[in-house]
């Protein structure tokens, strides 16, 4: 009973801010400014949603975000998995150096201007790779996956080697099928990171048609998208300024909320169940 009450309280505390934001996104500007919006919308309206979603550039940028996230996440998962698997081998020569190089990048980097010069000199500006390559490996995710591989029973790989599997075959046919939980976790971490990312595109891209949706909404919030370009009147401008942040949060977080239930089962499954007997 106590556990049920505590967990219910956690659920309420977790959901309340999101429900409040959702209610604000459908409320009138006067109700929002008066602080009357709690869990239900006041003065229901769709002005800001209509303003944003009627713009063709919004859908172009939304498509860009999907492409950037899918490609970047796929590349990041492959590189992180390969690097982590190598680092998990304690008999590897130069292992300490490779770990040191990775950890070093967590605390030191070249800085904003050198990074910009590097991306420009490599010809990556205004391309997908300006977003994907600089963030292809998260050292935190790398260390988490490395620890997971290190805790995997060595008997499994030894048995695979006896059966004639190569290193790549062992990784593909033995290790990865038993690593669904950590792969799902890394998938979620990388997908959320790339989906919410806006600064790299803001820095390395000059063309509006290449922006992700986060930059579009950032520009809308800051006033870069003028009311005249969308045909908005004075009343619409007041409404947009009142609940644009709430609408932005809802439009940005919705795809991630749809993704999470699809991979949640891997967080609670018994990863090693049945893999080792004896």
Which pLDDT tens digit goes with each residue over 76-102? 999 999 999 999 888 888 888 988 988
Spatial separation of the C-alpha atoms in residues 58 and 149, rounded to whole Å: 41
What is the reported pLDDT for 70?
93
Average pLDDT over residues 160-166: 81
CA of residue 72 relative to chain centroid, distance: 10
Q: What is the pLDDT of residues 181-199, one digit of tens each?
A: 888 888 888 988 899 888 8
First to last CA, the chain: 38
Q: Which residue has the higher pLDDT, 225 or 162?
A: 162
Write down the mean pLDDT value for the chain.
Answer: 81
Distance (Å, whole) CA 101 – CA 82: 16
Angle at CA 127, nearest 5°, toward 125 and 128? Answer: 130
Does pLDDT of 11 surpass 50? yes
Q: Is the pLDDT of residue 277 over 50?
A: no
Write the burial class of residue 12 (CB in 10 Å: 0-12 exposed, 13-18 middle, 19+ buried): exposed
Per cent of the chain over pLDDT 70 is: 87
pLDDT at 272: 44
CB atoms within 10 A of CB 216: 27
Give the pLDDT confidence score for residue 76 in this predicted structure. 94
The 10s digit of each residue's pLDDT in 50-73 is 877 888 888 899 899 999 999 999
Q: How many residues does the chain have?
A: 278
pLDDT band per the 50, 70, 90 thresholds, residue 225: very low
Structural contact between residues 190 and 109, judged by C-beta atoms closer than 8 angstroms: no
Residue 267: pLDDT band by 50, 70, 90 thresholds?
A: low
Q: Is the pTM of this model over 0.75?
A: yes
DSSP letter string, the chain: -HHHHHHHHHHHHHHHHHHHHHHHHTS-HHHHHTT--SSS-SS---HHHHHHHT-HHHHHHHHHHHHHHHHHHHHHHHHHHHHHHHHT-TT-TTHHHHHHHHHHHHH----HHHHHHHHHHTT-TTSTHHHHGGGS--HHHHHHHHHHHHTS-HHHHHHHHHTT--HHHHIIIIIGGGGHHHHHHHHHHHHHHHHH--HHHHHH---GGG--HHHHHHHHHHT-S-TGGGT--HHHHHHHHHHHHHHHHHHHHHHHHHHHHHHTHHHHS-TTTTTS--
Cα 248 to the center of its chain, rounded Å: 16
Dihedral in degrees, nearest 10, Cα atoms 232, 54, 46, 259: -140
């Amino acid at each position: 009973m106590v556990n049920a009450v505590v967990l219910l309280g956690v659920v309420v505390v977790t959901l309340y801010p999101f429900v409040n934001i959702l209610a604000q996104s459908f409320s009138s500007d006067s109700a929002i400014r008066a602080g009357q919006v709690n869990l239900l919308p006041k003065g229901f309206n769709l002005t800001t949603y209509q303003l944003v979603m009627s713009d063709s550039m919004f859908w172009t940028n939304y498509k860009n975000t999907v492409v950037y996230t899918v490609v970047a996440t796929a590349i990041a998962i492959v590189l992180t998995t390969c690097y982590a698997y190598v680092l998990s081998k304690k008999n590897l020569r130069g292992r300490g150096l490779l770990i040191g190089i990775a950890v070093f990048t967590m605390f030191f980097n070249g800085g904003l201007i050198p990074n910009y010069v590097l991306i420009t000199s490599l010809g990556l500006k205004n391309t997908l790779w300006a977003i994907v390559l600089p963030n292809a490996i998260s050292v935190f995710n790398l260390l988490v996956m490395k620890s997971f591989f290190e805790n995997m029973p060595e008997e499994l790989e030894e048995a695979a080697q006896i059966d004639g599997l190569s290193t790549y075959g062992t990784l593909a046919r033995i290790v990865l099928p038993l690593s669904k939980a950590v792969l799902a976790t890394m998938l979620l971490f990388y997908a959320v990171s790339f989906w919410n990312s806006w600064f790299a595109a803001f820095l390395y891209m000059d063309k509006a048609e290449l922006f992700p949706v986060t930059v579009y909404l950032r520009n809308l919030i800051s006033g870069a998208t003028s009311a005249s370009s969308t045909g908005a009147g004075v009343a619409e401008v007041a409404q947009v300024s009142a609940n644009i942040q709430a609408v932005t949060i809802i439009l940005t977080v919705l795809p991630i909320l749809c993704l999470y239930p699809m991979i949640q089962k891997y967080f609670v499954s018994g990863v090693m169940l049945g893999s080792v007997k004896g």
